């Protein structure tokens, strides 16, 4: 994957469907290739028509149970653990249980991942001290947090595996967004360069990096200021590998991930009742080696996956995931 280069994309879904979200636009494009006319109905529903036949299909294939269990993390982890899957050790705490959470944090040993379960949006951060945990906890409570999850931090690569209709459908590695010094340009300019490159990628054009001021503390910890010039070849990560706060940068993989993990991802999805399309996020120290030779874990399962990340990776080989979803799910007996 280190040799995987950035792709130049000649097709962008918004060129054909400017008013439609990129993932939905990919489905519309795929159906049109097959001779169907398509109408969007909202909430991921599509009305497709061809000759004298029409049907209602979806771009998501889960249930409310799947969505809630995986969104709240802890219920899905319990199901997976009961089925024998390795998950990150962790416990859930109510907002009133800070003393118990602190004791558990010290027992696990820092750094740990603190996830705030909020009615509007979950968020995670890496905490390396008791003081930082207390500060983050109190701030989240004031913002209406429902409860917290404290998990161990397992070093390893972030691998995203797509599972469609009970079959492995592709994998990608998510690397932290980073800057690479050239000995000539400032950190601020390097961020601008990266955003200019992101504008050329249909998936990343709406995911531009914040300006250099956002990373001031990160730069300071590395001994830099935004207007400093890093030496040639020095790489500076803009997010942690444990959390990928900015979403990471996808590298398309082909024949790289060991078959063990392909199979285990498929089995993990089958363990969640009613789930037919998902992204399984794994933490693996050495993805090309057998599962039995290392400690790895299922990090989370995504029930509302966005196939565009496979179609337009930051580096590596693109993969037409929507074609497989349409074949295996949209145009199957599941269509009404």
Q: Write out the H or E segment, with its range, that includes residue 178.
A: strand 178-180
- Residue 151 CB contacts under 8 Å (≥ 6 apart), including other chains: 88, 89, 90, 112, 113, 115
Q: Are strands 37-42 and 45-50 parallel, antiparallel or unpaired?
A: antiparallel
Looking at the chain, the whole-number percentage of residues with pLDDT higher than 70 is: 98
In this prediction, residue 17 carries a pLDDT of 80
In this prediction, residue 171 carries a pLDDT of 96
Average pLDDT of span 226-237 = 94
In this prediction, residue 18 carries a pLDDT of 80
126-170 pLDDT tens trace: 999 999 999 999 999 999 998 999 999 999 999 999 999 999 999
Burial of 26 (0-12, 13-18, 19+ CB in 10 A): buried
**How far apart (Å, rounded) are the C-alpha atoms in residues 253 and 149?**
31
0.95 exceeded by the pTM?
no
**How far apart (Å, rounded) are the C-alpha atoms in residues 60 and 276?**
9
pLDDT bracket for residue 336 (50, 70, 90): low
Polymer length in residues for the chain: 336
Cα 161–chain centre separation: 10
pLDDT bracket for residue 3 (50, 70, 90): low
- Paired strand residues for 279: 162, 302
Q: Give one DSSP letter per residue of 278-328, joined into a string.
A: EEEEEEESSTTS-GGGS--EEEEEESS--THHHHS-SEE----HHHHHIII
Average pLDDT of span 49-75 = 92
**How far apart (Å, rounded) are the C-alpha atoms in residues 175 and 159?**
9
Average pLDDT of span 159-185 = 96
pLDDT bracket for residue 1 (50, 70, 90): low
User: Please, are residues 293 and 229 in contact by the beta-carbon 8 Å criterion?
Assistant: no
């Amino acid at each position: 994957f280190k040799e995987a280069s950035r792709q130049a994309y000649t097709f962008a879904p918004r060129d054909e469907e400017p008013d439609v979200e990129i993932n939905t636009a990919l489905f519309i494009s795929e159906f049109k290739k097959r001779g169907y006319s398509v109408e969007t109905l909202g909430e991921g529903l599509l009305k497709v028509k061809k000759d004298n036949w029409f049907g209602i299909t979806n771009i998501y294939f889960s249930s409310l149970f799947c969505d809630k269990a995986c969104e709240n993390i802890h219920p899905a982890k319990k199901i997976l653990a009961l089925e024998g899957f390795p998950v990150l050790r962790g416990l859930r705490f109510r907002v009133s249980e800070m003393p118990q959470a602190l004791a558990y944090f010290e027992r696990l040993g820092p750094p740990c991942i603190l996830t705030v379960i909020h009615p509007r949006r979950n968020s995670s951060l890496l905490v390396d001290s008791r003081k930082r945990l207390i500060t983050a906890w109190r701030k989240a409570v004031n913002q209406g947090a429902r409860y917290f999850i404290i998990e161990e931090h397992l070093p390893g690569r972030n691998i995203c595996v797509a599972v469609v209709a009970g079959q492995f459908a592709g994998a990608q590695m998510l690397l932290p967004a980073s800057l690479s010094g050239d000995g000539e340009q400032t950190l601020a300019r390097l961020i601008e360069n990266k955003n200019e490159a992101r504008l050329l990628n249909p998936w990343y054009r709406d995911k531009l990096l914040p300006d250099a001021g956002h990373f001031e503390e990160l730069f300071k910890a590395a001994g830099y200021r935004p207007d400093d010039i890093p030496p040639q070849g020095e790489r500076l990560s803009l997010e942690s590998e444990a959390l990928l706060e900015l979403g990471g940068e996808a590298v398309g993989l082909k024949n790289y991930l060991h078959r063990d993990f392909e199979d285990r991802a498929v089995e993990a999805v089958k363990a969640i009742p009613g789930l037919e399309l998902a992204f399984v996020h794994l933490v693996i120290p050495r993805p090309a080696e057998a599962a039995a030779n290392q400690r790895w874990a299922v990090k989370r399962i995504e029930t509302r996956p966005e196939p565009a990340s496979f179609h337009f990776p930051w580096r590596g080989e693109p993969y037409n995931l929507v074609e497989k979803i349409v074949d295996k799910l949209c145009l199957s007996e599941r269509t009404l």
